[in-house]
A and B are shown apart, each in its own frame.
Chain A
Amino acid sequence: MKAAAPNAFRTRVLQRGAFWVFRFATYFIIACASYVFLDIGIKGSRTVFTTTPPFINVAFLSERPQTLYVFDFEGKKETLGDQDFRKWKAAHPDAVVEPATVAYSAGGIWPCIVGTALLVVGSMTLALAIGISSAIYLSEYSRSGPWIRLIRIAILNLAGVPSIVFGLFGFGLFVIFFGWNVSLLAGWFTLGLMILPAIITASEESLRAVPQGLREGSLALGATKWQTIRKNVLPYALPGILTSSILGIARVAGETAPIMFTAAYAMRDEMPWQVNRVTDFVFQGVMALPYHIYVVSSKIPQNEYTERVQYGAAMIFLVLVMLIALTSIVLRERSRSRLSW
């Protein structure tokens, strides 16, 4: 048997050490994820779920945010939302109370859910339409050259722009220069532009992954280029494009910075469909979940009554993003199963 190498001990320690560093780094991620989801899940479920049927806090999901009134009356602490407080006042015309008010901490987050859904649908439609078109151009039509290299550099640079810069850009161009004001339209374009590089890159990769033999086979049968793309390239790239759009949705729904100057209101009494003319629809600002969480977490004085909406909104937000992602996954599997590889 050979004698042990002189540095065998050191080698073994390094080996064990490296193993534990990598292992710890991996478990650390799980620990963080668990903490975030458990914290939001536990505290949020106090708001979202109830102990009496139907066990879900319907009011929180379906009502508008209201100011919370907190006061003592006949030795009992009352916490009432705006509407309930008025009713209570009507029922007790003689009572003299000096309630403390907490903004947005009663009622629900329904307008925020609607606003976020509108922002996601509009900006993703815009980003997918422009993104898939330019991915098709880059992958199927363009010839390599300095012009195309410039376009690729532009896409890469666009991907690196911080979201707050997109917000300022959207504010300057769409809100001020185009005069769209704080509106859904401005938000759609700002968010759509923000997500565009990711959509283009992912779509182009999916298109390039379609074997060249399928294009040649189709062209050799007398198909035009567009027929080939539409019938024999795009359908096979679609699952990949949808996968990438899932990530896009999560980002669009979650970004606060691009919409805080362009599309989001802290509080709005009307719902988005309560507009005078149909054309006003796209020119109205909306409430949005991430901006609402920002407002209730940092724009109002914090006390024990503010946590309810903060965590409730955060949990609903997570669930919503998961639902959207789930829909995309179902769509992707559908379009994948229609192909018979």
Chain B
Amino acid sequence: MVNLMEMPTVAVNPNPPPKTSDPSVSRTAPAAETTKGIIGIEDLDFAFGTNKVLHDINLEIPARAVTAFIGPSGCGKTTLLRCLNRMNDLIDDARITKGSIQIEGIDINDPHIDVVDLRRNVGMVFQKSNPFPKSIYDNIAYGLRIAGISKRSLIDEAVEKSLRSAALWDEVKDRMHVSGYGLSGGQQQRLCIARALAVEPEIVLMDEPCSALDPIATAKVEELIRQLKTRYTIVIVTHNMQQAGRVSDQTAFFYLGRLIEFSDTRKMFSNPAQRQTEDYITGRFG
């Protein structure tokens, strides 16, 4: 495991220099309409040990929009998502073998990048909701406290703001100091979203956030995602194609570790460019 603490601290430059690399259509995603994205993935190969799981991924993810990653199980979509905040650093032998990922023009795998700054800027919501065994308030305040904010009024303010953003405030405002585990499954997942928002990231990664939720809770989270995209760049991995259709602006379809197609969601679902995409979307396989 990479020792995160020993890395030199270099703040992510908020105003990146203009990038010279060619942002045009990638080789594996012929239908992509690329504008200059906030996240740029170039020629990315990724392997667990000797097992190569991502091949030659090229992708530009636009800012202030929802981008969905779809594809059958094992296609590498979650792995790619976890590359974006370097969560794969936690896994032994997992590494990028080729290519680069740039966020706001900065290579996030550069040895001088402080992964702590990166993760503060790129929040994450997990498949299995994972509230900490603390009170609702302390769950939200956790990210602020570890960032060194100890002023009570600031934390109070941020807790309320992020709970309101996650549409959870009205449900929990009278029981801020009971355990996060006392909430329902859907509320727990929204608590995790609020927790991620509290540290004010630019980008929020969501790894199948609704897979353990019932349709009503799912609808609430989807509504929330639609609201959040005005302020955040959201990348969501989902198994559920209807969900991708409902919430996302752009969709990337992965199959066996390759990006098959990346385009506007409406276009992909009505008129996919690739045969494999069409087969998957219409349910012929996957």
Contact = CB atoms under 8 A, between A and B. Distances in A.
Query: Do A and B make up one complex?
Result: yes
Interface of A: 141, 143-144, 211, 213-227, 231-232, 236, 339-341
Contacts of A144: 92
27 contacts: A141-B3, A144-B92, A213-B128, A214-B130, A216-B90, A217-B130, A217-B131, A217-B132, A217-B192, A217-B195, A218-B132, A218-B142, A218-B146, A219-B87, A221-B146, A221-B196, A222-B120, A223-B142, A223-B143, A224-B116, A224-B146, A225-B3, A225-B4, A340-B133, A340-B180, A341-B133, A341-B181
Contact of A341 (B120, B179, B196): B179
A141 B4 CA distance: 11
B5 A220 contact: no
Contacts of B117: 222
A143 B87 contact: no
A236 B87 CA distance: 22
Contact of B120 (A221, A339, A340): A221
A279 B130 CA distance: 50
Interface in B126-146: 126, 128, 130-135, 142-143, 146
A226 to B, nearest CB: 6
A217 B205 CA distance: 12
Interface of B: 1, 3-5, 85, 87, 90, 92, 116-117, 119-120, 123-124, 126, 128, 130-135, 142-143, 146-147, 178-182, 192, 195-196, 199
B200 to A, nearest CB: 11
A-B pairs, 6 with minimum CB distance: A340-B179, A222-B120, A213-B130, A221-B143, A220-B124, A217-B130
Given A224-B5, A231-B146, 6 more contacts: A219-B87, A220-B196, A222-B120, A224-B4, A339-B134, A341-B179
B133 A220 contact: no
Contacts of B128: 213
A232 B132 CA distance: 8
Contact of A340 (B1, B116, B124, B178): B178
Contacts of B199: 221-222
Contacts of A341: 133, 179, 181
A220 B85 contact: yes
Contacts of A339: 133-134
B1 A219 contact: no
A218 B146 CA distance: 9
Contacts of A214: 130, 132-133
Contact of A216 (B87, B133, B146): B87
B116 A236 contact: no
Contact of B123 (A216, A221, A340): A221
B126 A222 contact: no
Contacts of A223: 116, 142-143, 146
Contact of A220 (B1, B87, B135, B181): B87
Given A221-B120, A221-B199, A341-B179, A216 B5 contact: no
A226 B5 contact: yes
Nearest to B120: A222
Nearest to A227: B146
A45 to B, nearest CB: 45
A213 B126 contact: yes
Contacts of A340: 133-135, 178-182
A34 to B, nearest CB: 40
Nearest to A142: B1
A330 to B, nearest CB: 20
A55 to B, nearest CB: 46
Contacts of B130: 211, 213-214, 216-217
A223 B128 CA distance: 20
Contacts of B195: 217, 221
Contacts of A224: 4-5, 116, 146
B132 to A, nearest CB: 6
B133 to A, nearest CB: 5
Contacts of A225: 3-5
Nearest to B147: A222
A102 B58 CA distance: 91
Contacts of A213: 126, 128, 130
Contacts of B180: 340
A145 B124 CA distance: 30
Contacts of B131: 217
A173 B135 CA distance: 50
A231 B143 contact: no
A143 B92 contact: yes
A222 B134 contact: no
